[in-house]
Amino acid sequence: MNKPLRIALTKGRLEKDTVGLFEKIGYDCTAVREKGRKLILPITDGNMEAVLAKANDVITYVEHGVCDIGVVGKDTIMEMQGKYFELSDLGFGKCQFALATKKGDKFFGGYDVKKIASKYPNVARSFFESKGMDVEIVKIEGSVELAPLLELADGIVDIVETGTTLKENGLEVIEFIAPISARLIVNTVSMKLRQQEIEKLISQIEANI
Ligand code: PRP
């Protein structure tokens, strides 16, 4: 038998949704469900091995070919780009990129250069470039909603899922930027060398989403 296909999963919700999907296909994911602190786990029957990583690292491992496949959010893909194939939309992990400000703030208009806080500076930059708008971008690592409340920024570019975090902090969406969901990415060399196995997996996934 071939060595197992290595699949990097974004730890947390995407990992759980992927395990749910694999179990629907019929793969035994007990080891991943009962992982404790282990980071590399077998997925029996599927001849796969799950590698649990942070979103940015999923892309790095797939790009470098140490994992054949990855499951990662479109948000990370848009922010990091890189050289790999993006093959399937897995239909879960759905949310949106949005520009938000304090409720009632007039964001557009005026001549002052606006300050934008974001965990996703590249996404923010290209959004404002597409509008021909000059902005200053400040990188924030988390709870970006704090930045306008603390008067660090005029607005934020962030992920909105239910909208609760914005609402509870007196912010509102000014404009939706792009839809986000989990994607299957594949290393370019693995796609050639292990094409049959990867295509089989993709067709099983697509039949079950
Ligand atoms: C994300 C995002 C928002 C929140 C949106 O943060 O950055 O803060 O979820 O979800 P909602 O619309 O359902 O309220 P996350 O929970 O990943 O934490 P972080 O801000 O520390 O990155």
- Atom 21 of ligand 1, nearest CA residue: 142
Do 5-93+181-207 and 95-179 show the same overall fold?
Answer: yes
* Centre of ligand 1 from the C-alpha of residue 16, in Å: 18
- pLDDT bracket for residue 46 (50, 70, 90): confident
Q: Is 162 in the pocket of ligand 1 (CB under 6 A)?
A: yes
Q: Please tell me the predicted confidence (pLDDT) of residue 182.
A: 98
Q: In this predicted model, what pLDDT tens digit does every residue of 125-171 receive, in sequence order?
A: 999 999 999 999 999 999 999 999 999 999 999 999 999 999 999 99
pTM, full prediction: 0.95
Architecture of domain 5-93+181-207: 3-Layer(aba) Sandwich (3.40)
Q: Mutation test of ligand 1: which of 76, 94, 161 has the most ligand atoms closer than 8 Å to its C-beta? A: 161
Average pLDDT over residues 28-43: 96
The Cα–Cα gap between 166 and 125 comes to 21
Question: Which amino acid is present at 65?
Answer: G
Q: In this predicted model, what pLDDT tens digit does every residue of 54-90 receive, in sequence order?
A: 999 999 999 999 999 999 999 999 999 899 999 999 9
Q: Mutation test of ligand 1: which of 99, 143, 145, 165 has the most ligand atoms closer than 8 Å to its C-beta? A: 165
Map the chain to HEC letters. Answer: CCCCEEEEEECCHHHHHHHHHHHHHCCECHHHHCCCCCCEEEEECCCEEEEEECHHHHHHHHHCCCCCEEEEEHHHHHHHCCCCEEEEECCCCCEEEEEEEECCCCCCCCCCCEEEEECCHHHHHHHHHHCCCCEEEEECCCCCCHHHHCCCCCEEEEEECCCHHHHHCCEEEEEEEEEECEEEEECHHHHHHCHHHHHHHHHHHHHHC
The residues, any chain, with a CB within 8 Å of residue 209's CB and separated by 6 or more, are 21, 88, 90, 91, 92
Percent of the chain with pLDDT over 70: 100
Question: Which amino acid is present at 136?
Answer: E
Integer Rg of the chain from CA: 19
> CATH number of the domain at 95-179, out of 3.40.50.300, 3.40.190.10, 1.10.730.10, 2.10.240.10?
3.40.190.10
Q: Please tell me the predicted confidence (pLDDT) of residue 172.
A: 98
Domain segments of the chain: what residues? 5-93+181-207, 95-179
Nearest atom, ligand 1, residue 161 CA: 12
**Statement: residue 1 has pLDDT above 70:** no
- pLDDT bracket for residue 124 (50, 70, 90): very high
Q: Please tell me the predicted confidence (pLDDT) of residue 9.
A: 98
The pair of structure tokens assigned to 11 is: 């730890």
Computed over every residue of the chain, the mean pLDDT equals 96
- Atom 8 of ligand 1, nearest CA residue: 143
φ, ψ of residue 126 to 5 degrees: the values are -70, -30
Q: Please tell me the predicted confidence (pLDDT) of residue 44.
A: 86
